[in-house]
Amino acid sequence: MRLVAILLLYPCLAELQCVSTDDLSCDREGSDELSLSQWGPGFLQETYQVREREERQLSVSVVTATKASAEKPLSSASWELIDRALFGTRIVHFPWWVYAGVFGFFVIVFFHEVHVSRGGVPICQPKRLEKSIGCQLMGLWTNASPFVAMSMQVPISLDFALSLRQGATSSGFFLSCGVITGLCAMAAGKRLVDEENWNQFYVRRLLIVIPLIAMGLSFASAIFINETSGSEQVYLIWWVMIGFTVAGSFIGPLSVIPGIIFWTKITKSKNRTFWMILTQCARNLGLVVGPGLFAILRTAVTGGGDRVCPRSMMGWVNLTLLVFSLISASFGAFVMPARMPDYPLNLEEDDEDDPDELVMVSDAHLEAMPEPERERVVWNMIWYAFERPFTLAAVEVSTLMMLEVYYGWDPYMTGICFTAVCSLGIIMSIGTTVALVKGWLVESHVFIVSAASSILGCLFLVEIVPTPGWTLLIADCIIYTGATVANGFAEGWASRAAKEGTSFSNAEYRLRQLSAVTVSRFMGPIVGRFLVDYGGRNVYAVAQLVMCLMGTRTVYKTVGLIWRWNRANPQVSAKDTEVPAAEKLLKGEEQSKIKNGSPIEAAPEDQ
């Protein structure tokens, strides 16, 4: 070791004779021997040059890799398999008549409100509120429009995120970021009104001003994203759009609670079940028709020309959301009464000509069950409100992504296919309702079968061998149809099992159920697209299967509780199996007997 050290150190202390390989070659030609002082420096210098060149090449490769990694997320299927060069660079600016139309609508509403403030009547105000179809349509639109808006953004959300150098998980966050703020907005909206000291004129103004503000935010976001479609400030644009989404999701739902309270003040008790069923259908219909409306919008904007840039297309989608806010403001301005009528609305009157079809056959005698069992049913349905919306939210956004990423489908046409497939869920829900009304089916059996059918749908998601893309549509058809039917039973049973004056009243149930649905719908798109992007189709299928198993287990526990109670109480009369649905959900069977003039005994749990 000492000898090696001496041989390496000695040339460094000696006078340098040659410092380059060229000098060494010249010395070799003029001398027969190469001294140690000449060999040592030449060897070290050559070694240093080679090492320096390698380090320089390595540093260049590291810088190149760093730049590439900065432009794309962690290795993901959406980034690797989708060619961003095919997105298109065409920007379609808004024509002048769009700006003129928005300004004209504000002018019309302003002069109309001046007329109403001076004692006038809204031009479309109904004569009898309890029989107003217009006010009921306003409630249906309020429930459907948020789902239409969200589902219209789903087909373009992935391309939009990738064009801003974001990943599929970020696109799911873009769709869900407004859900939590929407829940906060509904809580804030409850504080804007006083149900005991109702001010109809003030509430009407809320239902006009709030949609107009949401309309302005949608217009601002549409102009911003459309005019910056060619900008390279992608990260700034991304976070500004997130800010617009969060702000709009807070402003819009502020009018939800005032609208619900107004609806309860003008709707007869015996008619509320019918409109509640239509409300559920309106929400589901909103999720179904949104992608189809987007496909129509895309065709109209493209006009047979080159493909439109995803950012510009998102601007046109936000312009459509402006139209939704315009419709909401129109209902508030032109249909909603400025003052409540002087005559009593008689919401509790029971007309003799009610059709027998309103009576539904049920084997779940929830009103007659003791409080512990009823509370257990309510809590089971709250858990189900978390499990099942997660499945639906993930299905809505992940299917379109898989068809685009793994099968190369056009993202605009997948919206039409998804609309056609999920429409079967609404048809099946209507058919099931008719069958239950006619007494052809039993509630508990339909509930458990519809919940378990989602498990079968998850099996079609698994790809053991290469399968075509339409297998995803079959899976989603089964999952979506079963979940749609099961959700109706879950909300109905929980409403019937809830008992006023307890910790599981309808108010408490609705608050917890809404919180569960909000959290679930917030997580569904993010988790679903993350699993598809980084895990693939089978990982996503396993996650969906786990959630469907959990949901089916919750339903089985609830249905099993009903079956055990029925076996333990065979004395329940056959008459109890036919109860008006409105009183099931709102007032209970006892009040129905009071109306008919027959005496009743107190329920066991009230004694």
If asked whether residues 228 and 155 sit together in one domain, one would say yes
Q: Using alpha carbons, select from 185, 356, 205, 358 the residue that is nearest to residue 269.
A: 358
Distance, in Å, from the CA atom of 452 to the CA atom of 284, rounded to the nearest integer, reads: 20
pLDDT for 80 equals: 65
509 assigned to some structural domain: yes
pLDDT for 285 equals: 80
How many other C-beta atoms can be found within 10 angstroms of the C-beta atom of residue 546?
Answer: 12
Q: At 83, is the secondary structure helix, strand, or coil?
A: coil
If asked whether residues 326 and 436 sit together in one domain, one would say no
Q: Residues 308, 309, 314, CA angle at the centre, nearest 5°?
A: 95
Q: Report the CATH number at residue 301.
A: 1.20.1250
Amino acid at 542: V
If asked whether residues 331 and 416 sit together in one domain, one would say no
pLDDT for 100 equals: 94
297 assigned to some structural domain: yes
Distance, in Å, from the CA atom of 402 to the CA atom of 289, rounded to the nearest integer, reads: 20
Q: Report the CATH number at residue 455.
A: 1.20.1250.20
Distance, in Å, from the CA atom of 569 to the CA atom of 243, rounded to the nearest integer, reads: 57
If asked whether residues 231 and 283 sit together in one domain, one would say yes
Q: At 90, is the secondary structure helix, strand, or coil?
A: strand
184 assigned to some structural domain: yes
222 assigned to some structural domain: yes
Tokens read off for 91: 């920007």
Buried b (16+ CB within 10 A) or exposed e, 360-397: bbbebbbbbbeeebbbbbbbbbbbbbbbbbbbbbbbbb
Tokens read off for 561: 């509780």
What's the full length of the chain, in residues? Answer: 607
pLDDT for 110 equals: 92
If asked whether residues 188 and 262 sit together in one domain, one would say yes
Q: Using alpha carbons, select from 244, 439, 426, 223 the residue that is nearest to residue 311.
A: 223
pLDDT for 18 equals: 42
Sequence-separated (6 or more) residues with CB below 8 Å from residue 601: none
pLDDT for 11 equals: 43
Structural domain range at position 273: 100-341
Segment (H or E) for 579: strand 578-580
Structurally, the chain folds into a number of domains equal to 2
Q: At 467, is the secondary structure helix, strand, or coil?
A: coil
If asked whether residues 316 and 409 sit together in one domain, one would say no
pLDDT for 83 equals: 61
Amino acid at 122: P
If asked whether residues 298 and 422 sit together in one domain, one would say no
If asked whether residues 415 and 291 sit together in one domain, one would say no
Distance, in Å, from the CA atom of 406 to the CA atom of 32, rounded to the nearest integer, reads: 71
229 assigned to some structural domain: yes
- Report CA 304 to chain centroid distance, whole Å: 31
- Among 341, 362, 384, where does a domain finish? 341
If asked whether residues 407 and 509 sit together in one domain, one would say yes
Residues of the chain with pLDDT under 70: 1-86, 195, 269-274, 276-277, 342-362, 396, 411-412, 415-416, 418-419, 421-422, 425, 437, 500, 506-507, 571-607
Torsion of CA 146, 147, 151, 157, to 10 degrees: 40
If asked whether residues 188 and 318 sit together in one domain, one would say yes
Q: DSSP letters along 342-373, please?
A: SS---TT---TT--GGGEEE-S--GGGS-HHH
If asked whether residues 484 and 555 sit together in one domain, one would say yes
198 assigned to some structural domain: yes
Q: What is the DSSP letter of 307?
A: P
Amino acid at 80: E
381 assigned to some structural domain: yes
382 assigned to some structural domain: yes
If asked whether residues 385 and 279 sit together in one domain, one would say no
